[in-house]
Amino acid sequence: MTKQSNTALITGASSGIGWELAKIHAKKSGDLVLVARSRDKLDALKLELEAQYGISATVIAEDLSKPGAAQRIFDETQARGITVDVLINNAGFGGHGLFHEQNLVNIQAMMQVNMATLTELTHLYLKGMVQRKRGRILNVSSTASFMPGPLQAVYYATKAYVTSLTQAIAEEVAVDHVTATALCPGAVATGFVAAGNLEGVDIWKQAKSAQSVAQFGYGAMERGELVAFNEGKLKFLLNWVVPLLPRKTMLKMSRQAMEKA
């Protein structure tokens, strides 16, 4: 009997949540396609996981902020004969400050990584999943997706897109035995803070570990959950309190959460 493949493609696999997700999948004897900009870090992870778990890992060094990155990744996996059974769109970044004062090039790169490349990868790999009548997609979104975010306006908007897109796709492909899950964590202790100029923002003092978020998210994906919150209090607030607040009050609260001490 032929062993059913269980290969996961993970973007942003060189650190943080992506790194931890790769380890979780490898521990379950799944092969990997590791994607990020840093080939050195990916090569180190590949060697570690292959030695420890006896799996096969393929490294694709690609800058997801560049147009065409998704197609290049897809073409490489096709050329190598790799079937992607699990797609984990984890790569993403933010940026802090007043919208009109932020660098437009950085904003455009954020939109490309957080939305455009994620959408393209999902479109390219979902077709095969539907044809095979099996597959899982995990899109790493954020609790930020449930409200506008003054001082992180574009980041919050990109994550709203991710959560919305994921849910719509999940409904479309449910009949094909394919699942799509939006993981919506709160603050996570990763390089995201430094990269997004978020040092000094209070909510990161209570940040959860990347390992705990990855473990929770992977489990939610396996269960086929639609939207997964790793913090019960945030889930309650966002589902039952925030929608009832006057819009201007909610915006002021959202801004206060992002202000630096």
- In sequence order, which residues have a C-beta less than 8 Å from that of residue 6 and are 6 or more positions away? 28, 29, 30, 31, 85, 86
Catalytic residue among 46, 125, 156, 159: 159
The runs of H, that is alpha helices, within the chain are: 16-27, 39-53, 69-79, 104-111, 118-132, 153-173, 192-195, 210-223, 232-236, 247-258
147, two tokens: 């409200």
Q: Is the Cα dihedral 228, 233, 234, 238 positive or negative?
A: positive
Is 155 tagged catalytic? yes
Catalytic residue among 53, 125, 155, 218: 155
pLDDT tens over the chain, length 261 residues: 445 789 999 999 999 999 999 999 999 999 999 999 999 999 999 999 999 999 999 999 999 999 999 999 999 999 999 999 999 999 999 999 999 999 999 999 999 999 999 999 999 999 999 999 999 999 999 999 999 999 999 999 999 999 999 999 999 999 999 999 999 998 877 665 555 555 555 665 667 799 999 999 999 999 999 999 987 778 777 887 778 787 888 888 888 888 866
Domains of the chain: 7-258 (3.40.50.720)
Q: What's the pTM?
A: 0.89
Is 233 tagged catalytic? no
Q: In this predicted structure, what is the pLDDT of residue 16?
A: 94
